[in-house]
Structure 1
Amino acid sequence: MAFWTAAVWLSAAPVWAQEPTREWMTQPRDWSATLKADVEALGRILEDSHPGMFDDRNPDFRPRAEAGLAEARRRAETTRDAGGWWWAMRGLIAGFDDGHVQIGLAPSGGLPSRWPGFLTTYRGADQVVASRDDADDDAPQLGARLIDCDGVDAATLAERRVGAFRGRWFLESQKVQNGDWVFMSAANPWIPEMSACRFEVDGRAAAYALSWREISSEDLGARGTALAQRAFPDFGMKAADDGGWWLSMPSFNGDPASDAYKALTTLLAEATETQAALRAAPYVVLDLRGNGGGSSHWSSRLADILWGHDWQVAHRLPQVESVDWRASEANIAEVQAFRDQLAAADGDARMLAWADTAIAGMRGAMAAGEPLWRAMNEPRPGLDPGAAPVNPMRGRVYVLTDPGCASACLDAVDIWKAMGAIQIGRETSADTVYMELREAALPSGLAKVWIPMKVYRGRARGNNEPQVPAHVFDGDLKDEAALRAWVLSLNRRG
Structure 2
Amino acid sequence: MIALVSRPLRAIACAILLIGTYMPIDGFAEGTANWAALARRDLQFAGDTIASRHAGAVDGQASVTGPLVNGLRAALAETEAVHNEQDYLRVMTRFIAGFGDPHTGIDLHLAPRGWTGILLDQVEARYRVVWSEAGWPNELPPVGAVAVSCDGVYTGTYLQLKVGPFVNRSAEYATTLSSLAQQSMFETGLGWTPAQCVFELADGTSRRFDLPLRRVPEQVSHSRLNALRSIYHTTAKPVGVTQLGPGRYWVGMPTFDGRQASAAYEALYPKLAALKQPAWVVLDLRGNGGGDSTWGTRALGALYGTDYSNQLEEAGGQQEYLIADSVTVDLLKRYIAAPEFANSREDMIEVLAKVHAAIKAGSKMALVSGQADGLTADVIPALVVHRTHGPRLAAIIDRNCFSSCMNVLQQIRATGDAVVLGEPTIGYSPFGEITRIDLPSGRGTLLIPSAVFRTAQATREPFLPDYAFPGKMGDDNALTAWVNRILDGLAAH
TM-score (norm: length of structure 1): 0.80
Partners of 2:322 and 2:423 in 1: how far apart? 33
Residue matched to 1:181: 183
Q: Is the 8 A contact 1:200 1:206 kept in 2?
A: yes
SS at match of 1:252: coil
Residue matched to 1:235: 239
Alignment of structure 1 residues 352-391 onto 2, 5 Å: 352-364=348-360, 367-368=361-362, 370-375=363-368, 377-378=370-371, 391=388
Q: CA separation of 1:119/1:488 partners in 2, compared to 1, >3 Å: closer, same or farther? A: closer
Give, as a single letter, the amino acid of the residue that structure 2 aligns with 1:162: V
Partners of 1:354 and 1:248 in 2: how far apart? 32
Residue matched to 2:173: 171
Q: CA RMSD in A?
A: 3.7
Partners of 1:259 and 1:480 in 2: how far apart? 22
Alignment of structure 1 residues 130-145 onto 2, 5 Å: 130-134=130-134, 139-145=140-146
Q: CA separation of 1:95/1:456 partners in 2, compared to 1, >3 Å: closer, same or farther? A: same
Which blocks of at least 5 consecutive residues in structure 1 are unaligned?
381-387
Residue matched to 1:157: 158
Q: Is the 8 A contact 1:38 1:444 kept in 2?
A: yes
Give, as a single letter, the amino acid of the residue that structure 2 aligns with 1:216: V
Q: CA separation of 1:213/1:389 partners in 2, compared to 1, >3 Å: closer, same or farther? A: closer
Bigger shift: 84-93 or 306-315? 306-315
Whether 2:399 is the aligned partner of 1:403: answer yes
Bigger shift: 397-406 or 208-217? 208-217
Match of 1:492 among 465, 488, 493: 488
Partners of 1:448 and 1:374 in 2: how far apart? 27
Residue matched to 2:462: 466
Q: CA separation of 1:373/1:313 partners in 2, compared to 1, >3 Å: closer, same or farther? A: closer
> CA shift at 1:329, angstroms?
1.7
Partners of 2:143 and 2:314 in 1: how far apart? 47
Match of 1:425 among 415, 422, 428: 422
Alignment of structure 1 residues 94-133 onto 2, 5 Å: 94-106=97-109, 110=111, 112-113=113-114, 115=116, 118-133=118-133
Q: Is the 8 A contact 1:311 1:389 kept in 2?
A: no
Which blocks of at least 5 consecutive residues in structure 2 are unaligned?
1-7, 374-384
Whether 2:434 is the aligned partner of 1:437: answer yes
Residue matched to 1:54: 58
Q: CA separation of 1:178/1:350 partners in 2, compared to 1, >3 Å: closer, same or farther? A: farther
Cα distance per residue 1:40-73 (max 9 Å; x no partner): 33223213320222334x3463342133223333
Q: CA separation of 1:410/1:442 partners in 2, compared to 1, >3 Å: closer, same or farther? A: same
Partners of 2:112 and 2:474 in 1: how far apart? 29
Q: CA separation of 1:4/1:119 partners in 2, compared to 1, >3 Å: closer, same or farther? A: closer
Q: CA separation of 1:184/1:241 partners in 2, compared to 1, >3 Å: closer, same or farther? A: closer
Q: CA separation of 1:315/1:298 partners in 2, compared to 1, >3 Å: closer, same or farther? A: closer
TM-score (norm: length of structure 2): 0.80
Partners of 2:82 and 2:287 in 1: how far apart? 36
Partners of 1:400 and 1:214 in 2: how far apart? 36
SS at match of 1:172: coil
Q: CA separation of 1:114/1:298 partners in 2, compared to 1, >3 Å: closer, same or farther? A: closer
Q: Is the 8 A contact 1:121 1:227 kept in 2?
A: no
Match of 1:67 among 67, 70, 82: 70
Q: CA separation of 1:345/1:112 partners in 2, compared to 1, >3 Å: closer, same or farther? A: closer
Q: Is the 8 A contact 1:311 1:391 kept in 2?
A: no
Alignment of structure 1 residues 195-274 onto 2, 5 Å: 197-202=197-202, 204=204, 206-208=206-208, 210-217=210-217, 218=220, 221-222=225-226, 224-240=228-244, 242-253=246-257, 258-272=259-273, 274=274
Q: CA separation of 1:358/1:84 partners in 2, compared to 1, >3 Å: closer, same or farther? A: farther
Q: Is the 8 A contact 1:332 1:359 kept in 2?
A: yes
Alignment of structure 1 residues 285-324 onto 2, 5 Å: 285-308=282-305, 309=307, 313=311, 317-320=315-318, 322-324=319-321
Residue matched to 1:392: 389
Cα distance per residue 1:218-259 (max 9 Å; x no partner): 357257515314025322233456442222221112x5xx24
> CA shift at 1:476, angstroms?
4.3
Q: Is the 8 A contact 1:7 1:293 kept in 2?
A: yes
Residue matched to 1:383: none
Bigger shift: 399-408 or 2-11? 2-11
> CA shift at 1:111, angstroms?
6.1
SS at match of 2:57: helix
Partners of 1:358 and 1:160 in 2: how far apart? 46
Q: CA separation of 1:112/1:239 partners in 2, compared to 1, >3 Å: closer, same or farther? A: closer
Q: Is the 8 A contact 1:114 1:213 kept in 2?
A: yes
Q: CA separation of 1:26/1:143 partners in 2, compared to 1, >3 Å: closer, same or farther? A: farther
Cα distance per residue 1:282-302 (max 9 Å; x no partner): 321112123111123333333
SS at match of 2:9: coil
Q: Is the 8 A contact 1:31 1:80 kept in 2?
A: yes
SS at match of 2:162: helix
